[in-house]
Structure 1
Amino acid sequence: MEKVNVSALSVVSETRFTKRIGLSNPQVLVFVLTFAPGQELPKHKHPGSTLVVHVTGGSGVVVVDGRETPVSTGDVLLVEGEEEFAVRNTGNEALVLLASLSPNPSDPRYAQPIG
């Protein structure tokens, strides 16, 4: 068993969103994305993997294949790998997302921390 604390992985940066890796094995990659107000994650895909996102704090907008959906604390999203995905913090506090990709993408760029 492995255990991580989501709050400890949530790091707010005024310059850009942050990504911290929580857990990783061949079956799954778990990470936390944290966005200060106004920050965003550009559109991208996760080919060959399914993304599950749990909003653990704040609010914002998720864009999947061009369709905007408001999200807030407690929401859970399922995004298929070929769907184009983007996030924008439209709220007044940090937007914190607990995300998992399964299977863990073979491209090592997905497992790199950001910010």
Structure 2
Amino acid sequence: MPQKMLLSEAFSIPADRPFRRIWRRDDPRTDVLIGLKPAQRIPEHSHPGSEVMLLMLQGKLQVTLSGEIIELSVGELLRASGDDQLALDNVGEIDAYVLVILQEHH
């Protein structure tokens, strides 16, 4: 039987760290669901050799991309090179969920 629920009901975010779950791994693509509580952060990192797409599902994130700050809201998609330094900050008042799609270049 189908079951409908909120993201926050299906995937709770720990208070002490962001939530990460690999949604799909099918070489050369990996999809990762990430959840951040308000004020949680994923520090700068990169995904060399990949294209990175972030699809905002809930909440609002401040994305720092090689020093440039970009606000990402529900329904927005951000594409970037995985060679860029990337950091995520939940600047909203609710839990934020983003689907990260990593496409490796071959």
Pair in the same fold by TM > 0.5: yes
Larger radius of gyration: 2
* 2-structure distance, mates of 1:57, 1:35: 10
Note if 1:51 corresponds to 2:28: no
* 1-structure distance, mates of 2:72, 2:90: 9
Letter in 2 for 1:94: D
Q: How does 1:7-18 map to 2 (within 5 A)?
A: 7=7, 10-18=11-19
* CA root-mean-square deviation: 1.8
Residue segments in structure 2 that go unaligned for 5+ positions in a row: 1-5
Q: How does 1:30-109 map to 2 (within 5 A)?
A: 30-103=31-104
Q: Percent identity?
A: 23
Q: Is the contact between residue 10 and residue 32 of structure 1 (CA under 8 Å) also seen in structure 2?
A: no
* 1-structure distance, mates of 2:71, 2:48: 24
* 1-structure distance, mates of 2:76, 2:14: 23
Label 1:14 to 1:97 Cα distance change in 2 as closer, same or farther (>3 A). same
| Count of residue pairs the alignment pairs up | 99
Tell me the CA shift for residue 85 of structure 1.
0.5
Letter in 2 for 1:56: L
* 2-structure distance, mates of 1:69, 1:97: 14
TM-score (norm 1): 0.80
Give 1:27's aligned residue: 28
Tell me the CA shift for residue 9 of structure 1.
6.2
TM-score (norm 2): 0.86
Give 2:3's aligned residue: none
1:47 is paired with a residue whose SS is coil
Label 1:89 to 1:79 Cα distance change in 2 as closer, same or farther (>3 A). same
Give the strand-richer structure, 1 or 2. 2
